[in-house]
Amino acid sequence: MYAFHDEFQQDPGLRYLNHAAVAPWPRRASLAVAQFAEQNVLLGARDYADWMDVELRLRERFMRLLNAPSSDDIALVKNTSEALSFVAFGLDWQPGQQIIISDEEFPSNRIVWEALAPLGVEVVQVSLSGSDPEQNLLNACGPKTRLMAISAVQFASGLRLDLNKLGHGCRQRGVLFCVDAIQQLGAQPFDVQANQCDFAMADGHKWLLGPEGLGVFYCRAELREQLKLHEYGWHMLERMGDYTRTDWEPAKSARRFECGSPNMLGAMALEASLSLLEEVGMAQVGQLIEERVQWLQDGLSALPGVALHTPLNPLRRAGIITFSVDGQDTQALYQRLKQENVVCIPRGKGIRLSPHFYTQARVIEETLTVLSQAVAG
């Protein structure tokens, strides 16, 4: 039995394969929230300084998870969409400039760029089909291209991109590189420095095993002051806490993106969840996820009429595997899985399954049994 099993005492019949949507919490996140609630009841914010230590640890954990040079490069944000908006509406655009995205992006990483249309900025959607999706994206960069915004792992197909190739290609071409990391961070190792990311963002409620509403925004230090700020308040000041001073300047660190009181409740939970990922280690988390995805792939491939919509090459995927069954209505199949307590979701061309590192053999075997019965009619 895997040593961290006690952290995930889910409902006995539950078959949870939906970490690419919203993940269950580990026990320690639930305890952290319960303790925080009790402390608020008994003591209010008497020990606020201790809470700030937790928040500091959270920033440091994010720094290590992303391999950011410093925790000063980390801002705690509401979600991925907010961080993307900070970049989109922070940069100083010129009419005619272009943004490269793929034609498979989750709406957050498309809408935000399309919202720049009134400034004369053009969004170019590039197909990821074919054997070299990175080259498709890089080939689309021209003299007017200012930024490439891409999901590390596509939410529907599960395709994982070679961020190293993209990051280096963008840097060579003088194009800013912005990575929506939500489907990779916590599922496979991630490295903003090795991959030359200028911006990276993710929310905590998927592979990071935290609650919704608290995410991370990495901004490369050299670019921080280029992003025009749109939210102001006491917390984002360089001399935060000196309330008598009337002159002010935004924090030099990425705290400049955090206008007011932090989401302390979320920080308690997410700090606990990330501590678990760090204890297991992201290399091992990634390997355990890949084993489980491979297992699902082998089981699905053995079923008649199953089509896989996720690449078979492990380097080309992370924690998502999406499939459909010839002649079977996806919604009907999804309802059947739901009835059998398999938690998954229809996405893209089929049904998306997403196990995490702790997912037990039982869950995978039982899901494959349910599917084989469904396929047999």
Ligand X SMILES: Cc1ncc(COP(=O)(O)O)c(C=O)c1O
* Residues within the interface to ligand X (CB under 6 A): 79-81, 106, 108-109, 151, 155, 180, 182-183, 203, 215
Q: What letter represents residue 122's amino acid? A: E
- The owner of tokens 């609650």 is 211
Least distance to ligand X, CB of residue 106, Å? 4
Q: Which is nearer to ligand X, 29 or 370 (CB)?
A: 29
Question: Where does the chain have alpha helices with state H?
Answer: 27-43, 48-66, 80-88, 108-114, 133-139, 163-173, 264-280, 282-301, 330-339, 361-376
- The owner of tokens 């990922």 is 277
Q: Which is nearer to ligand X, 345 or 364 (CB)?
A: 345
Q: Which is nearer to ligand X, 81 or 297 (CB)?
A: 81
Least distance to ligand X, CB of residue 334, Å? 17
Q: Which is nearer to ligand X, 75 or 182 (CB)?
A: 182
The DSSP bridge pattern shows strands 321-325 and 98-102 to be: unpaired
**DSSP annotation of 255:** G
**Residue 229 DSSP SS3:** coil
Count how many Cα atoms sit within 13 Å of the Cα of residue 292 in the half-sphere of its side chain: 27
How far is it, in rounded angstroms, from Cα 79 to Cα 215? Answer: 5
Q: Which is nearer to ligand X, 203 or 271 (CB)?
A: 203
Least distance to ligand X, CB of residue 182, Å? 5
Whether 276 contacts 4, CB under 8 Å: yes
Least distance to ligand X, CB of residue 49, Å? 30
Least distance to ligand X, CB of residue 81, Å? 3
CA neighbor of 106 nearest in space, from 124, 87, 80: 80
Least distance to ligand X, CB of residue 323, Å? 18
| Cα–Cα–Cα angle for 113, 182, 211, rounded to 5 degrees | 115
Least distance to ligand X, CB of residue 348, Å? 11
How far is it, in rounded angstroms, from Cα 153 to Cα 160? Answer: 4
How far is it, in rounded angstroms, from Cα 114 to Cα 371? Answer: 39
Q: Which is nearer to ligand X, 175 or 181 (CB)?
A: 181
Q: Which is nearer to ligand X, 111 or 374 (CB)?
A: 111
